[in-house]
Amino acid sequence: MKVMQWFPRLKKLEWLIILGVIIVYFVLTLTNLTKLPIFVDEALYLRWAQIAWHDASWRFISLTDGKQPLYVWFVIPFMKLISDPLYAGRLASVVCGLFSVLGIGYLGWLIQGKRTALFAMIVATLSPYLFFYYRFGVMESMLVAGSLWVCNFSILLARARRLDVALILGMLGGATMLVKSSGTFFLLLIPFAYLLVADFPKFFSRSTGRYSLLVLVSWILATVIYNVQRLSPWMHMIAQKNAFFIVPYAEIFAEFARLSNNFLDVWRWQISYTTLPLLLIALFGLYQLFRKNWRLGVFLSAWLFGPMLGTVLLARLFAPRYIVFVTPFILLLAASAISAIKNLKYSILILFVLTLPPLYLIGRLLFDPIHFPYVSVDEGYVNGWSAGEGTKQIADWAVNRLQTTGQPLTIFTEGTFGILPHGLELYADGRVEGLTIRGLYPINSIPPQETIESVATNPETYLILNNTQTMGDQAGLELIAEYAKRDPAYTMRLYRVLPLIK
């Protein structure tokens, strides 16, 4: 009986290449990690992690907004070690991204060998689409890593048909579902790996039955792990949140315009962030696979197009981050096409040329993320109410102001959820006593009545406006600081509330 090989036998040069890729990965991802200001979703997730760290009774706090908790839990150890909460959260994503790079390399080896593995790791490290989320304090980096390792172990289970592999796969699947609801897609794709090893004349055999039972074990274990959320009374919020983002099954085909726009958006975003040359090479790689090994072609097509079409059909609100998990499989197909070139020098040259446009985009993300050519739906990272330019500066100012005056300070924020007040609370947490942050929404008058009542007893009363755009001083307010976003029409402003003159 042939002994299964679990890991590639690497030569010294191959080990050095992998080490080099890892070093380049960390150099790129850690450079200017916090240059892009905090985004609204980052403020939420990282503030939840901060609260869960300080109070164990709130470990499931993300469920109050219908978000699974694993990413929040993963960030907590980083916050214990690093004082800058944004850096801590983004570093957690960087670590998840490393598992994505290693995962795509392992998948490349499983399906085609070491050359595809090394090329896949390189293009995954230099993918602008993935690179952005490697460095972003949201759950997508962890979701991508989870999808790849579920795929890897689905292949291992099909080949080995062992209980220990099924248990590991179940744990990975359960963990991935604890990241985001999209993780369910990957569990449903597990059986497709059997196509790689199935003996069709003997399909209905004891071997197939054993494999089916092992897949069932993986699914059951994943479900048990997912249901740990029932320890919280807020698990039902996941279904409510999902209903906001996806259409009911009965209405999937009711709006053709939504479906066509979603489908076209996937490819527009891939062209913008993956770049057209790599995308075309990937499609050619898929064509090559079907010619050489139709089973492998069907398997990778299932993992690429299955989650893609599922998301396209169901998504009510759609953005690039909601479909980022298909990108590794596009990159793997590109790596497959490049590695198929027999002349190693030519394949390396083509790889170099194909990575030049992505490297340019990565350079823009590293050194000028504010003016990066985002697709229109991603403009919220640098413009509008969702962009956090000014949040950290105001928090630092408030801490210094309170330490200087020694008087309690109250800041009212326009907004009760998101950048304000969560971003401000995130940056000010534990740094000083006597700072009170209160969210207000909606704001019906400027200054709001609550601020007028506060300043009557506390002269150190301030107001932050972020949604409502005003110019200069307002009646009853003194402009202290103003922070422009990419579009100068959008600013975050800090005002001092002036007491009424009687």
Residue 341 lies in a domain: yes
Report whether 298 contacts 245 (CB < 8 A): no
CA 275 to chain centre: 20
Report whether 231 contacts 182 (CB < 8 A): no
Three-state secondary structure of 231-280:
HCCCCCHHHHHHHHHECCHHHCCCCHHHHHHHHHHHHHHHHHHCCHHHHH
Whole-number Å distance between alpha carbons of 154 and 160: 10
CA 441 to chain centre: 28
Residues 278 and 412 in one domain: no
Residues 420 and 368 in one domain: no
Residue 385 lies in a domain: no
Residues 272 and 421 in one domain: no
Residue 5 lies in a domain: no
Point out the domain boundary residue: 332, 359, 379.
Answer: 379
Give the closest residue to 82 by CA, choosing from 118, 113, 53: 53
Whole-number Å distance between alpha carbons of 493 and 497: 12
Torsion 113-119-122-125 (CA) sign: negative
Give the closest residue to 48 by CA, choosing from 25, 28, 67: 67
pLDDT in tens, the chain (502 residues): 456 788 889 999 999 999 999 999 999 999 999 999 999 999 999 999 999 999 999 999 999 999 999 999 999 999 999 999 999 999 999 999 999 999 999 999 999 999 999 999 999 999 999 999 999 999 999 999 999 999 999 999 999 999 999 999 999 999 999 999 999 999 999 999 999 998 877 777 788 899 999 999 999 999 999 999 999 999 999 999 999 999 999 999 999 999 999 999 999 999 999 999 999 999 999 999 999 999 999 999 999 999 999 999 999 999 999 999 999 999 999 999 999 999 999 999 999 999 999 999 999 999 999 999 999 999 999 999 999 999 999 999 999 999 999 999 999 999 999 999 999 999 999 999 999 999 999 998 999 999 999 999 999 999 999 988 776 667 899 999 999 999 988 999 999 999 987 5
Residue 319 lies in a domain: yes
Point out the domain boundary residue: 315, 344, 379.
Answer: 379
The pLDDT tens digits for 477-500 are: 999 999 999 998 899 999 999 998
Identify residue 161 by its one-letter amino acid code.
R
Range of the domain at 466: 391-497
Residue 121 lies in a domain: yes
Residue 129 lies in a domain: yes
Residues 467 and 326 in one domain: no
Residues 335 and 439 in one domain: no
∠ CA 353-359-360, rounded to 5°: 105
Give the HSE-up count for residue 147: Cα atoms under 13 Å, Cβ half-sphere.
30
Long-range contacts of 293-296 (CB under 8 A, 24+ apart): 295/195, 295/196, 296/111, 296/112, 296/196
Residues 350 and 435 in one domain: no
Residue 2 lies in a domain: no
Angle between helices 40-54 and 70-81 (to 10 degrees): 70
Residues 205 and 265 in one domain: yes
Point out the domain boundary residue: 324, 345, 379.
Answer: 379
